[in-house]
Chain A
Amino acid sequence: MIGEKCLKLPAAALFRASAVTYAPAMDVIPDDSALMLRYADGDVEAFETLYRRHNDSLYRYLLRLSGHRSTAEDVFQETWGKIVKARDRYQPTAKFSTYLYRVAHNCFIDYLRRNKRHSNTADVDPDSQMSAGAEPDAETERSMARRRLEQALKILPEEQRDVFLLHEEAGLNLAQIAEVTGVNRETAKSRLRYAVSKLKVAIDAPQAREVS
């Protein structure tokens, strides 16, 4: 039951929950690198466990990064395909999630180069069924804030969106984000700061307008 609950949590929450909930039994839970090494030895169940830990967060990362469901699915499948093929060459020198998201990031970049038709016009809108002014009374302020966040995330520059998603979905720190995106730590830090600042402004904007 706890495992199912953990699978439903976002990646960052999953890491925090693992650290707290499973702290007394850390030695019995194989880490991601151990699972990957076991899979390299032919243990398919180890891969399934590893996959269940990261599949949803990676899917959300790609979905929000690309803004297209089909693109996200293609890149998602390509990413895991590369992980599977590179299992014999895998070396646990870094955190597995860093390795996974670096592969996903590169796959997405390659996908953009191969598909010039890709545009930032996203087809994913969780609140697309609701128009902006259709149900202001029924819509809670919380749901309106979520919608504003989604809209702001879509219009963020791709580099800033990438950094924000890596931080929120994958739970990576600045050094790991810098490693995944191929920039130095200060650049990653700057991008994350700008992204968070813009999202915060977008969330608070109506309130500010109401206050003013």
Chain B
Amino acid sequence: MTEERNNDLSDPAVSDLYRESANERAPASLNEAVLRNAAAHASKGYAHSMLWMRPLAYAATVVLSLAIVVQIVLPPKSDDAVPAASLSPAAEADQLSLNADLVDAPAGQFADDDDPLKRLRDQEVREETKIEEFEVPAVASETAPEAAREALPQVAAQLQRYDDTAAAGLEEAAVQARAQESPATADLESAALGSAMVMEEASDMAALRSAQPGDYGYLVSPAAPTEESVCEPDDVESPETWVECIERLEEAGRSEEALAERIMLMTAFPDFELPAE
């Protein structure tokens, strides 16, 4: 409609006559000047945009690199981390290893191991082969001397106390917390705990096999020996006085208590060499 009205306004004769006369063209020099100006501004615009793009690209690269480095270097935060137990993982493993040694050891081992270098090598071997050592007790208990067999209930009771106390829970919590930091350490901890449980069962069975009827009543008896030493506090402050106390107990015929004191002494002073019985 609008176009029709426009056409009504324009006269064809006038339009045709005008187009016949309007044949001028823009001068070539003018065309060249305009196009040159347009090309110059276009390249300037491109350069201007590049001035912004390059610093932006550099900044983006730096920011991304820093983010990646921070992600790699910093350990992940564990909100549910449990406070570590008082004992370090290595100390806990040593403790369990020592208990296993007590189960496996012949009666005269403590007196026979005089060479410090040998003890050091044994300690290293124990650290490397904790799991294997923990899996042996069932066989070892069958060949152990009577004295060691008598010691089994004591060790079993001690391990039982470990389970009964919160230490076991703390150990598991510590293992879970450390599992996020070092899977290898966590595996070792788990293996140690599992071996301790196996050892406990084995020692219980050995105690049942070796003990006379009525001897294992202390496992459930309220009169069973506790962690408290029968020796005086002054005696247990040093291994020498503790040994004197043990000798007094043996002389008094309290062999079971003496043996328990020996075990506690070895536990408290693992580097102390006990004299031969």
**Which DSSP category, helix, strand, loop or mixed, fits chain A's interface?**
helix
Known contacts A51-B34, A168-B19: does B14 contact A149 (CB below 8 Å)? yes
* Cross-chain contact A203 with B24 (CB below 8 angstroms): no
Q: Any chain A CB within 8 A of the CB of B121?
A: no
Nearest chain B residue, comparing its CB with the CB of A193 = B9
Q: Could you say which residues of chain B place their CB within 8 Å of the CB of A196?
A: 9-11, 14
Q: Any chain B CB within 8 A of the CB of A189?
A: yes
* Cross-chain contact B38 with A84 (CB below 8 angstroms): yes
* Bound form: Cα–Cα A8–B22 in Å: 11
Q: Any chain A CB within 8 A of the CB of B13?
A: yes
List residues 113-129 of chain A with CB under 8 A from any CB of chain B: 126
* Cross-chain contact B13 with A169 (CB below 8 angstroms): no
Kindly supply a per-residue 1/0 record for chain A positions 84-113, scoring 1 wherever the CB is within 8 Å of any chain B CB and 0 otherwise.
Answer: 110110000000000000000000000000
Q: Could you say which residues of chain B place their CB within 8 Å of the CB of A60?
A: 22, 24
List residues 122-181 of chain A with CB under 8 A from any CB of chain B: 126, 142, 145-146, 149-150, 153, 167-169, 173-175
* Bound form: Cα–Cα A185–B35 in Å: 34
Q: Could you say which residues of chain A place their CB within 8 Å of the CB of B18?
A: 149, 153, 168, 199
Known contacts A149-B21, A173-B2: does B35 contact A200 (CB below 8 Å)? no
List residues 20-35 of chain B with CB under 8 A from any CB of chain A: 20-22, 24-27, 30-31, 33-35
* Cross-chain contact A84 with B37 (CB below 8 angstroms): yes
Q: How many residues of A contact B (CB 8 A)?
A: 48
* Cross-chain contact B10 with A77 (CB below 8 angstroms): no
* Cross-chain contact A200 with B11 (CB below 8 angstroms): yes
Whole-angstrom distance between the Cβ of A204 and the nearest chain B Cβ: 8
Q: Could you say which residues of chain A place their CB within 8 Å of the CB of B37?
A: 80-81, 84
* Cross-chain contact A203 with B13 (CB below 8 angstroms): yes
Q: Any chain B CB within 8 A of the CB of A65?
A: no
**Which DSSP category, helix, strand, loop or mixed, fits chain B's interface?**
helix
Nearest chain A residue, comparing its CB with the CB of B3 = A173
Q: Any chain A CB within 8 A of the CB of B39?
A: yes
- Interface 9-mer from B40-48, B102-110, B191-199: B40-48
Q: Could you say which residues of chain B place their CB within 8 Å of the CB of A80?
A: 34, 37-38
Nearest chain B residue, comparing its CB with the CB of A199 = B14
Query: Which of A63, A77, A142 is the one whose CB lies under 8 Å from B20?
Result: A142
Q: Could you say which residues of chain A place their CB within 8 Å of the CB of B20?
A: 142, 146
* Cross-chain contact A48 with B19 (CB below 8 angstroms): no
* Cross-chain contact A169 with B22 (CB below 8 angstroms): yes
List residues 67-81 of chain A with CB under 8 A from any CB of chain B: 73, 76-77, 80-81
Q: Any chain A CB within 8 A of the CB of B182?
A: no
Q: Any chain A CB within 8 A of the CB of B17?
A: yes
Known contacts A80-B34, A169-B22: does B2 contact A42 (CB below 8 Å)? no
Q: Any chain A CB within 8 A of the CB of B15?
A: yes
Q: Could you say which residues of chain B place their CB within 8 Å of the CB of A73?
A: 27, 30
Q: Any chain A CB within 8 A of the CB of B6?
A: yes
Whole-angstrom distance between the Cβ of B5 and the nearest chain A Cβ: 8
Q: Could you say which residues of chain B place their CB within 8 Å of the CB of A150?
A: 21
Nearest chain A residue, comparing its CB with the CB of B18 = A168
Query: Which of B9, B11, B39 is the one whose CB lies under 8 Å from A189?
Result: B9
* Cross-chain contact B14 with A51 (CB below 8 angstroms): no
Whole-angstrom distance between the Cβ of B111 and the nearest chain A Cβ: 94
Q: Could you say which residues of chain B place their CB within 8 Å of the CB of A56?
A: 24-26
* Bound form: Cα–Cα A189–B2 in Å: 11
Q: Any chain B CB within 8 A of the CB of A55?
A: yes
Q: Could you say which residues of chain B place their CB within 8 Å of the CB of A43?
A: 42
Known contacts A10-B22, A64-B22, A167-B10: does B35 contact A48 (CB below 8 Å)? yes
Extra pairs beyond A10-B19, A76-B34 (12, CB < 8 Å): A44-B39, A47-B38, A51-B34, A59-B30, A73-B27, A80-B38, A81-B34, A84-B41, A142-B20, A173-B6, A189-B9, A200-B14
B contacts, CB < 8 Å to A: 2-3, 5-6, 9-11, 13-15, 17-22, 24-27, 30-31, 33-35, 37-39, 41-43, 45-46, 49
Give the 4 A-B residue pairs with the shortest CB-CB distance, closest first: A59-B26, A146-B21, A80-B34, A42-B46
